[in-house]
Structures are given as C-alpha cells and as structure tokens.
Amino acid sequence: MQQSQNAPQGAPVQDKVFAQMVKAGGKTYFFDVKKASNGSNYLTVAESYKKPTGEKVVNRLLIFKDHFPAFTGALEEVKQYLQ
C-alpha cells in the first residue's frame, strides 16, 4: 500500500473510489468514497472553513455502507423542512 505524506508512518492509504468537492458560502464540503482494508466502501463527508481568527477547521463524518440506507432515508425526510 502507498504511504500518504500526511499519514503517520506505516499507516495505509485507503483507495479513493470517488471524490466530489462543493463550495458553498464560506465552507467547502468534500464527499469521498473510499475502500476500506476489508474491501468494503464507505463515505466520508468533510466540511472545511476558516474561523475569523484564520484558524482552519475540518470536521469529518464517516458513513459505512451498511448504514447508508438509513442515513439517506433520514436526509430525504429532513429535505422537506429545507425547501
């Protein structure tokens, strides 16, 4: 496996299957599908923004393949309140 420049020594890099970036307002969102060491795909959703002090903030959420149907179902329900 490859080694990332930012990863700790000996840490494997997950294979990226899909990536999409969305800029909205002062934030950037990243949607990455990666392949885990067991061969299963999972989704990471990250947001990145800068505080008024200039400090960079990154928050990540991992959604595993077997949790994805419940997650997307909840998003569909929530969508009605955002339209």
Query: Kind of pairing, strands 56-64 and 15-24?
Result: unpaired
Q: For 13-27, write each residue's pLDDT tens digit.
A: 568 999 999 999 999
Residue 81 burial class via C-beta count within 10 angstroms: exposed 0-12, middle 13-18, buried 19 and up: exposed
For residues 83 and 75, the answer to whether their CB atoms sit within 8 Å is no
Look up the CATH number of domain 15-79. 3.10.450.700
Are 18 and 33 spatial neighbours (Cβ–Cβ below 8 Å)?
yes
Domain ranges for the chain: 15-79
The 3-state DSSP class for residue 3 equals coil
**pLDDT reported for residue 10:** 53
9 band by pLDDT with thresholds 50, 70 and 90: low
Q: Are strands 56-64 and 27-35 parallel, antiparallel or unpaired?
A: unpaired
